[in-house]
Amino acid sequence: MKKAIRCAAALLAGAGASAAMAQSNVTVYGLVDTGLVYTTNVNAAGGNMTKMPSLTGSFPSRLGFRGTEDLGGGLQAVFTLESGLSLDTGAMGQGNRLFGRQASVGLKGAFGTVTLGRQINMTYIAMLKADVLGPNLFAIGSIDAYLPNARSDNSVGYLGNFNNFVVGATYSTGRDASAAGGPAATNCPGETPGNSKACRQVTGLFGYETAEYGLNTSYDILYGNTGAAGGLTSSANSDRRVTLNGYVKVGQAKIGAGVVDRTTRAATGLSESDLYYLGVSYPVTPLTTFDVQVARRDTKNSASDVSMLVGRLTYFLSKRTAVYGALGRMKNSGASAVALDAGGTVGVGMTQNGVMAGLRHHF
C-alpha cells in the first residue's frame, strides 16, 4: 500500500511539473550585423579611414533570452536577458556588461507591464516608430549618442497600452553602474547613503499610436554624482531631454519626424540644444526598402551646429537575412566635431562624408 501511495504521489508530482512546464515559454533569439565603413576627414589633417565598426551596422548585434509564464487570471511572469555584442572583436557591449542591453523580470496583465532591473527607458521607446533609421551607424544617434543607448540600471518600469493610448515610466535609483566609458557606461551607480538624488533618473511617456499614425512625447531627467561622466559630477548636475515624435503612413511610405529638446546643467555650465529629424521609409519593391533622413542640432547661443543627411538601401535575401548600403554626410559648424559614424572621429568644424555596406541576419 505504501509503495502504491508513493508511486501515485510521484505520478502526481510529475504531472504537476509537466503542467507547470507547459505554461512556460522561453525564446532564444539574436541578431548579427556588421560590415565595412569608409569616412573622410577623420582628423584635423583631413585623413580618411576604412574600418569594421564596433557599435552597430544597421542594428546592434545581440544575443537574448525572453520568457513568459502563465500565472492564471490573465497574469504572466516575464523576463528578458539580452547581451550586446561587438561583432568585429566578439567583445561584450554596453560597458562590458554580460546582459547590457536588458536584464529585467516583471509581471504582465491587463493593467500593463511592470518590470525591474536594467531596461530600456521611455526616451528609447518614444522614438522607435518615428526614427526610420533607428540605431544605424549613420543616424541621429551619431549626434546624440544617448538616444540609442537610453537604458537605466536599478530601475522600476511600467508600460501600458489602453485603446491605443500609450503610457509609460521608469524610475532608477542608480542609472549607470559601469565605469567602462562611452555613452553606455558613464560611472554613476547611485544608491548613495545620505544622497538619494545621486544618479537618480526618471523617464515618462504619453502618446497615441496606431498602425497608420501616432504621436507621443517623453520626458527624461538624469542626475550626476562624484566621478560621473559628461560633467555631471554632482547630484546638483542634471541632463534633461524632452521629445516629441510622430509618424504617419502615406500609401506604402512611412514618414517619421521629431524634436529632442535638451538642457544640460553640468559642472562646466549650462548647455541647451534642439535636435530635429525627419525621415521617410519606402518599400521600393517587396524585397527592397529605401530610407532617407535629415537631421539638425541647433545649439543655443553657439555657432557649433551640425546637420546630417543619410540614405540607406536594404535588400532582403530572406525573412531573416539582408544586405544594406548607406551614404551619409555630416556638416559641422564652429567648434562642432560630430562624426558621421557612431563612435567615430572627425576634425573640428569639418564636413564628413561616408559610405557603408553590411550584412545582417537575425534568428
User: pLDDT tens digits for 44-54?
Assistant: 999 999 999 99
DSSP for 10-73 reads HHHHHHHHHHHHHTEEEEEEEEEEEEEEEES--STT---EEE--SS-SSS-EEEEEEEEEEEET
User: pLDDT tens digits for 72-101?
Assistant: 999 999 999 999 999 999 999 999 999 999
pLDDT for position 186 = 96
Q: How far apart are the first and last CA of the chain?
A: 52
3-state secondary structure 270-292: EEEEEEEEEEEEEEEECCEEEEE
302 pLDDT exceeds 50? yes
pLDDT for position 16 = 43
Strand partners, 246: 215, 257
Split at pLDDT 50, 70, 90, the class of 21 is very low
316 pLDDT exceeds 90? yes
161 pLDDT exceeds 70? yes
Cβ contacts of residue 210 below 8 Å, gap of 6+? 164
What's the mean pLDDT in 199-213?
Answer: 98
Split at pLDDT 50, 70, 90, the class of 24 is confident
CATH number of the structural domain 25-362: 2.40.160.10
User: pLDDT tens digits for 317-340?
Assistant: 999 999 999 999 999 999 999 999
User: What is the overall mean pLDDT for the chain?
Assistant: 94
CA distance to 145, 149, 187, per residue, from 267 (Å): 20, 23, 16
Cα gap 226→219, rounded to integer Å: 24
What's the mean pLDDT in 114-130?
Answer: 98
181 pLDDT exceeds 90? no
Strand partners, 325: 313, 357
pTM of the model: 0.91
